[in-house]
Chains A and B, each alone.
Chain A
Amino acid sequence: MASTACFMIVSRNDIPIYEAEVGTALKKEDAAHQHQFILHAALDIVQDLAWTTSAMFLKAIDRFNDLVVSVYVTAGHTRLMLLHDSRNDDGIKSFFQEVHELYIKILLNPLYLPGSRITSSHFDTKVRALARKYL
């Protein structure tokens, strides 16, 4: 598992709807901010890159210092973004695909308003489990 990783789902309106620090490294408040800053900045690149390929998994699209940003764009332009320091493309791809499935299940919930914050603790648990499994 990666020592540092930050996972975030950004809605089509560029609003984060889910975020989780999934790294094994000790959590620091400042670092968490920094991770979000990096992911926020990477949106600029995603917005252009998403239209150049038909693949949902955009691989590593951005980096800052040692941290790499990998992005997976769903058909509804929801972006699953992962900030990580490991180079495990296959694992990341599988992670994204499984999270995508979870996200679709969330979307199918009639009580969930698309674009709103995901507050399901079940989802959170599952995502963290997936992170342990693949990253």
Chain B
Amino acid sequence: MEPDVSIETSSMIRIAVLPIGPIPPSHFRDYVSMLVRHHKIELSTISSFYTEHQKSPFAQQPWDSGTLRFKFMVSGSPPSPWEDFQSNRKILAVIGICHCPSSPDLDSVTEQFSAVSKGYSSSLVQRCFAFCPGDSQLEDDRKKGGNLILFPPADRQTQEFHLQTMVQDIAASLLMEFEKWVLQAESAGTILKTPLDSQASLSSEEVIKAKKRRLGRAQKTIGDYCLLAGSPVDANAHYSTALELARLTGDYFWYAGALEGRVCALLMDRMGQKDPVLEEEVKYQYNSVILHYRKSFIQDNAQRVSPLSFELEATLKLARFLCRRELAKEVVELLTAAADGAKSLIDASDRLILYVEVARLFGTLGYHRKSAFFSRQVAQLYLQQENRLAAMSAMQVLAMTTKAYRVQSRASIAKHSLPNEIGSTHTDGGKIHHHSVVSLFESQWNTLQMVVLREILLSAVRAGDPLAAWSAAARLLRSYYPLITPAGQNGLAIALANSADRLPSGTRCADPALPFIRLHSFPLYPSQMDIVKRNPVREDWWAGSAPSGPFIYTPFSKGEPNHNSKQELIWIVGEPVQVLVELANPCGFDLMVDSIYLSVHSGNFDAFPISVNLPPNSAKVIMLSGIPTKVGPMTIPGSQGLVLSDPFRCCGSAKLKNVSVPSISVVPPLPLLVSHVVGGDGAVILYEGEIHDVWISLANAGTVPVEQVHISLSGKNQDSVISVAYETLKSALPLKPGAEVTIPVTLKAWQLGLVDLDTAATKNFSGSTVRQGKDGSSPMLLIHYAGPLENSEEPPTNGSVVPPGRRLVVPLNICVLQGLSFVKARLLSMEIPAHVGGNPPKPVHVENSSSEEVTGSESKTDRLVKIDPYRGSWGLRFLELELSNPTDVVFEISVSVQLENSNNEDSDSPVDRAAAEFGYPKTRIDRDYTARVLIPLEHFKLPVLDGSFFLKDSQTNGTTGKSSSFSEKNAKAELNASIKNLISRIKVRWQSGRNSSGELNIKDAIQSALQTSVMDVLLPDPLTFGFRLAESCSGQDAKLDSPKESDYQVQSTSSKGSVLAHDMTPMEVLVRNNTKEMIRMSLNITCRDVAGENCIEGKKATVLWAGVLSGVTMEVPPLQEIKHSFSLYFLVPGEYTLLAAAVIDEANDILRARAKTNSPDEPIFCRGAPFHLRTRSPTVASLGFKLAAINVNLDSLPKTPEVFSLDFRIWFQNAAIQP
């Protein structure tokens, strides 16, 4: 069998092309390629070389339209035993090719050529073409002539023309030879035999039969020559005769041959035009051909020779003729039939050719899987031959099947895809590849794929092609490692190593082997080097460009919708960058990665290769780094296509794990600020409320000056940063490269929350008191900075390109430890009775028992003790804070109150205002101790007692409409505002050790303390009682007539502070109604001496009286006051206390609520504040210190009785000097 046969093969003249003498292969190929171009010679072009010696037997030759076809058999071919049967199998001409520079002796060339051409006995024409002859050789040639034709050196075109002429000459010679042969054959007749004919001596009967057959065979052969001579009509005539004769003699083999020839003649006549009728005709005729070849099968010599190959060839010829998509079914049937014949073929090479042809035809038909199947059969036949050349052929054939089995090498994909899609980008190619890589895993044809790859590996090893072997082993290992046993994996690893050893170093294979590489991430610049796009228009150029929160995506950000899909990276010239990749070695052997680095084709990157050792079944994330060197876009091609199905979790799922590759651009150098905290970068350990200064040093480590800078805060606990010396930084601009600036930042440690406390407690328990500031509760300084707007070196371009700015994040690592903690806070009040008509007492010291030293000035302290205008007594309020110290250091507490001095007429001077802050003695709290700190509060009360405060309690008086609720709200707001105002003026500072100090946050504590006792502290009593001496009413009136001044201070002291004993003293009691209702009551007045004995009634009464002192019934109109006069006569000089009390009749709900009574029947008892009255003997003027017992108003204390652990005394100094 012969490869590449078609119906037209019968009309082709075979010419052997042989190299003569030594000739470089490249030259030989070059010359042959020039020659083979002339495979079709128009008859019209050769007429000039043709001379008609006698009458041509080709009467119908179409000189104007016919052609001669050449089939060049490069390097010749052995003579076929079937050349009598089909004349086109003969080598009819020999062309020698000689390269003159390498064969100087032309004589020897001629000799060699004639020797070689003798081997081709059937050849009719011989020519030897000698190329590139030297001058001497040209000289030499002129003498001789003959078959040697020299092609003088000339340009390519001339040479080709020369060659064409020579080929035309050959064609003409051949034509003349054919004529000669035909004429001879017609006259003399020839004996034509095939291997099919019996070799044994013929019987007489057979001799007669053979004679008859001989005529038919001769006609068929003449027909063949007519076809070769390009005269189909003549051929047809001869074939028809031959058919007739062959049919008569039952010479089926030759009949089929003649029939084949006739079909060829038919097609030649139509000159390649195909129409359905012709197709049908050809199909019909060829089926007949196939049938007759089959008929000619003779059993007795089937072992030796068989016409089967002709039958199969005919089948293939028909299949090739019909090979179109529309006729696929018929072609498939033909090819299947042909393939079936393979097992009956005796010659292995025939089978090979058959499979090759079948594979080719299936391929032409578009049946790639079929084609691949037969190609693999071919490869197997080659592999059976066990020699290197066959193995190479096997390898090449298998390489063609890889596409159908989807195990292509990357190199072949690149080769095929590039010429097809010129415009396609790199990514497209990558995509195709992804598909194929994934399909390896997805497709369960993996058995086949593995077999094919294994065969490729085997053939490559046998053929000695290390690159192909490496590639196959790599593909096998990479794609199918889960299906390969560890032993097999090791074998493949060894194959890889062996192949690699034989490859020249630096060889690259397009196919990846292990390890799997997956792009892990492109780490952004660390927050210290963050790059921020600069908006040249806005003052705050960083705004909007940086993510403004912990979320990568917020639905509220107004960025472009596709902003998130494609990440953009900016790399900076000269600053190292990193890319993280994950390497996985899923196989059972150690993998040593000698060198892996970022390979960037854009040429603006210096990569640092690293080497990795991967143990079996392991994965590592490694960091590849490098430095961008030039401005421009950058692509990392490896990562473009680096989308791999996860080798560990992929099978069965159709998901792709897709890591988007950001587009990277490299920008010119930017300034780079580097920060460090002066004194170490560790966390600052602070107690709650501690105030601390931190110095942060900023240095420009870049090569560009910093020209713009802005500091902002972010993160949690931002309010703990009290101040940042922004101006210092501003004034240091522009910060030249290498320059450094230090800015102070004042911090105040925040309060720990409950959770924090818990963790702190556990941490403390476990022994580590230092909590790391990494829990994210520390605030951060965001420093946005940028270099100059435009590069001075470059001319200002359109202005659109502004070098980006950067952001430096300086985390202020604060570790807050639990400091002093509040246990309790409560409000205490103290009453000091007022003097009737006397000088107001002036308190001297407020001595805290727990403090050692006494500080403070009298005048400041005085102001805290004030007359309660509603109660008519001196009141002093304390906020008692109970603090515990759970830490292991000592705290010292100092309290300061900023005094309200706005309506103090006396202290107008600025000095007083500045000094209006009063420091109290310090309180020391030892570790693990609890201590109480007293903070004096200014007294204040609301002017009117009405229902608004009891709304919650007394819903029954629903007559109050919306207006009242409004006023209630107002009152509440007023109350809250006053509380807030009060609190804001109190500062509790602490100090611990030499250098840590801070402030306690007491706001919440006070608020809660005030809330519980707010009623008692702030609300006035329903009734206010006051005493005065009846004669000196003018001066004393003020204290009751001006209740609006909440902090009214009695400055205008009357000249007479006391009354004389043994004298009738007329007095008045003033009762004021603080409610909005009329109050009816009965008033009682009592007088007590120093011992607290009632000195009006009883046996030892020391005071006589005139007027009514008990059961005085009176009605007080709302917000009015009423006087009741009486007189007292003191028998003994000394201190007396006047007390007024009243029982209110028909008390309303408000009064009941104020009195905190529940039963409506209970009488409401209202007691006034005690008033002191000092009586003296008229002769002695006295100056002294008086000790007053502290009268604690128990109403203001919590209801649960408690032991007053802190005893305190207050000294009052009587400063009034009596004359």
Find chain A residues with CB under 8 A from B339 CB.
Answer: 64
- Complex formed: what's the CA distance from A40 to B407 in Å? 15
Stretch from A43-51, A90-98, A122-130 that touches the partner: A43-51
Contact with B along A12-41 (1 / 0, CB 8 A): 001111010000000000001100111011
Find chain A residues with CB under 8 A from B619 CB.
Answer: none
Check A48/B328 contact, CB under 8 A, given A15-B443, A41-B369, A116-B652: yes
- Complex formed: what's the CA distance from A32 to B450 in Å? 13
B1145 at the interface (CB under 8 A from A): no
B979 at the interface (CB under 8 A from A): no
- Complex formed: what's the CA distance from A42 to B332 in Å? 11
Find chain A residues with CB under 8 A from B372 CB.
Answer: 41
Find chain A residues with CB under 8 A from B367 CB.
Answer: 41, 44-45
- Complex formed: what's the CA distance from A48 to B370 in Å? 13
- Complex formed: what's the CA distance from A116 to B340 in Å? 35
Find chain B residues with CB under 8 A from A41 CB.
Answer: 367, 369-370, 372-374
- In the bound complex, do residue B444 and residue A16 qualify as a contact, i.e. CB atoms below 8 Å apart? yes
Nearest chain A residue, comparing its CB with the CB of B454: A33
- Complex formed: what's the CA distance from A99 to B372 in Å? 29
Contact with A along B331-355 (1 / 0, CB 8 A): 0100010011001000000000000
B376 at the interface (CB under 8 A from A): yes
Give the top 4 A-B pairs by smallest Cβ distance, nearest first.
A41-B373, A44-B367, A44-B369, A16-B444
B445 in complex: contacting residue of A16, A32, A63, CB < 8 Å: A16
Find chain A residues with CB under 8 A from B368 CB.
Answer: 44
Find chain A residues with CB under 8 A from B405 CB.
Answer: 40
Check A65/B443 contact, CB under 8 A, given A41-B369, A41-B373: no
Find chain B residues with CB under 8 A from A14 CB.
Answer: 443
**Most chain B beta carbons < 10 A, residue from A17, A48, A65, A117:** A48
A62 at the interface (CB under 8 A from B): yes
- Complex formed: what's the CA distance from A116 to B328 in Å? 31
- In the bound complex, do residue A36 and residue B343 qualify as a contact, i.e. CB atoms below 8 Å apart? no
Check A44/B652 contact, CB under 8 A, given A33-B448, A33-B451, A65-B340: no
Find chain A residues with CB under 8 A from B444 CB.
Answer: 15-17, 19, 117
Contact with A along B425-449 (1 / 0, CB 8 A): 0000000000000000011110110
- Complex formed: what's the CA distance from A41 to B372 in Å? 8
Find chain B residues with CB under 8 A from A116 CB.
Answer: 652
Nearest chain B residue, comparing its CB with the CB of A33: B451
- In the bound complex, do residue B447 and residue A36 qualify as a contact, i.e. CB atoms below 8 Å apart? yes
B329 at the interface (CB under 8 A from A): yes
- In the bound complex, do residue B328 and residue A33 qualify as a contact, i.e. CB atoms below 8 Å apart? no
- Complex formed: what's the CA distance from A15 to B446 in Å? 10
- Complex formed: what's the CA distance from A49 to B343 in Å? 27
The smallest beta-carbon distance between B944 and chain A, in angstroms, is 77
B252 at the interface (CB under 8 A from A): no
Find chain A residues with CB under 8 A from B369 CB.
Answer: 40-41, 43-44
Contact with A along B844-855 (1 / 0, CB 8 A): 000000000000
- Complex formed: what's the CA distance from A26 to B368 in Å? 31
Contacts beyond the supplied A15-B445, A64-B373: 16 A-B pairs with Cβ under 8 Å: A16-B445, A17-B444, A19-B444, A33-B451, A36-B448, A37-B448, A40-B369, A41-B369, A41-B372, A41-B374, A44-B369, A44-B370, A45-B370, A48-B329, A62-B336, A63-B340
Contact residues of B: prevailing secondary structure: helix
The smallest beta-carbon distance between A41 and chain B, in angstroms, is 4
B382 at the interface (CB under 8 A from A): no
The smallest beta-carbon distance between A99 and chain B, in angstroms, is 18
B442 in complex: contacting residue of A15, A40, A62, A64, CB < 8 Å: A15
Find chain A residues with CB under 8 A from B516 CB.
Answer: none
Find chain B residues with CB under 8 A from A36 CB.
Answer: 445, 447-448
A sample of 11 inter-chain contacts (CB < 8 A) reads: A14-B443, A15-B443, A16-B444, A19-B444, A40-B369, A40-B445, A40-B448, A41-B374, A43-B369, A44-B368, A45-B370
- Complex formed: what's the CA distance from A43 to B367 in Å? 9
- Residue numbers of B with Cβ under 8 A of A are 328-329, 332, 336, 339-340, 343, 362, 367-370, 372-374, 376, 405, 442-445, 447-448, 451, 652
Find chain B residues with CB under 8 A from A32 CB.
Answer: 447
The smallest beta-carbon distance between B523 and chain A, in angstroms, is 37
Find chain B residues with CB under 8 A from A64 CB.
Answer: 339, 373
- In the bound complex, do residue B329 and residue A49 qualify as a contact, i.e. CB atoms below 8 Å apart? yes
The smallest beta-carbon distance between B1155 and chain A, in angstroms, is 76
Find chain B residues with CB under 8 A from A16 CB.
Answer: 444-445
Find chain B residues with CB under 8 A from A38 CB.
Answer: 373
- In the bound complex, do residue B332 and residue A45 qualify as a contact, i.e. CB atoms below 8 Å apart? yes
Nearest chain A residue, comparing its CB with the CB of B405: A40
The smallest beta-carbon distance between A44 and chain B, in angstroms, is 4
Residues of chain A from 108 to 127 with CB closer than 8 A to chain B in the complex: 116-117
- Complex formed: what's the CA distance from A55 to B1022 in Å? 107
Find chain A residues with CB under 8 A from B373 CB.
Answer: 37-38, 40-41, 64
Check A44/B442 contact, CB under 8 A, given A37-B448, A49-B329, A116-B652: no
**Most chain A beta carbons < 10 A, residue from B340, B376, B444, B652:** B444
Find chain B residues with CB under 8 A from A52 CB.
Answer: 329
- Complex formed: what's the CA distance from A45 to B365 in Å? 11
- Complex formed: what's the CA distance from A48 to B444 in Å? 22
- In the bound complex, do residue B336 and residue A63 qualify as a contact, i.e. CB atoms below 8 Å apart? yes
- In the bound complex, do residue B370 and residue A33 qualify as a contact, i.e. CB atoms below 8 Å apart? no
The smallest beta-carbon distance between A96 and chain B, in angstroms, is 21
Check A44/B362 contact, CB under 8 A, given A38-B373, A64-B339: yes
Nearest chain B residue, comparing its CB with the CB of A116: B652
The smallest beta-carbon distance between A112 and chain B, in angstroms, is 12
Find chain B residues with CB under 8 A from A48 CB.
Answer: 328-329
The smallest beta-carbon distance between B572 and chain A, in angstroms, is 47
The smallest beta-carbon distance between A71 and chain B, in angstroms, is 14
The smallest beta-carbon distance between B333 and chain A, in angstroms, is 10
- In the bound complex, do residue B343 and residue A65 qualify as a contact, i.e. CB atoms below 8 Å apart? yes
Find chain B residues with CB under 8 A from A63 CB.
Answer: 336, 340
- Complex formed: what's the CA distance from A62 to B369 in Å? 13
- Complex formed: what's the CA distance from A49 to B369 in Å? 15
- Complex formed: what's the CA distance from A33 to B328 in Å? 27
- Complex formed: what's the CA distance from A62 to B362 in Å? 13
Find chain B residues with CB under 8 A from A19 CB.
Answer: 444
Contact with B along A53-79 (1 / 0, CB 8 A): 000000000111100000000000000
Nearest chain A residue, comparing its CB with the CB of B365: A44
Nearest chain A residue, comparing its CB with the CB of B368: A44
Find chain B residues with CB under 8 A from A17 CB.
Answer: 444
The smallest beta-carbon distance between B608 and chain A, in angstroms, is 43
Nearest chain B residue, comparing its CB with the CB of A119: B652
Nearest chain A residue, comparing its CB with the CB of B439: A15
Nearest chain B residue, comparing its CB with the CB of A43: B369
- Complex formed: what's the CA distance from A41 to B376 in Å? 11
- Complex formed: what's the CA distance from A32 to B448 in Å? 10
The smallest beta-carbon distance between B367 and chain A, in angstroms, is 4
- Complex formed: what's the CA distance from A52 to B445 in Å? 27
Nearest chain B residue, comparing its CB with the CB of A41: B373
The smallest beta-carbon distance between A70 and chain B, in angstroms, is 14
The smallest beta-carbon distance between B458 and chain A, in angstroms, is 14
Find chain B residues with CB under 8 A from A49 CB.
Answer: 329
Find chain A residues with CB under 8 A from B445 CB.
Answer: 15-16, 36, 40
- In the bound complex, do residue B336 and residue A37 qualify as a contact, i.e. CB atoms below 8 Å apart? no
Find chain A residues with CB under 8 A from B442 CB.
Answer: 15
The smallest beta-carbon distance between A69 and chain B, in angstroms, is 10
- Complex formed: what's the CA distance from A32 to B442 in Å? 20
- Complex formed: what's the CA distance from A17 to B340 in Å? 29
Nearest chain B residue, comparing its CB with the CB of A17: B444
- Complex formed: what's the CA distance from A37 to B375 in Å? 11
The smallest beta-carbon distance between A45 and chain B, in angstroms, is 6
- Complex formed: what's the CA distance from A44 to B444 in Å? 17
- Complex formed: what's the CA distance from A132 to B1128 in Å? 134
**Most chain A beta carbons < 10 A, residue from B328, B340, B367, B373:** B373
- Complex formed: what's the CA distance from A14 to B448 in Å? 13
- In the bound complex, do residue A117 and residue B448 qualify as a contact, i.e. CB atoms below 8 Å apart? no
- Complex formed: what's the CA distance from A41 to B377 in Å? 12
- In the bound complex, do residue B370 and residue A117 qualify as a contact, i.e. CB atoms below 8 Å apart? no
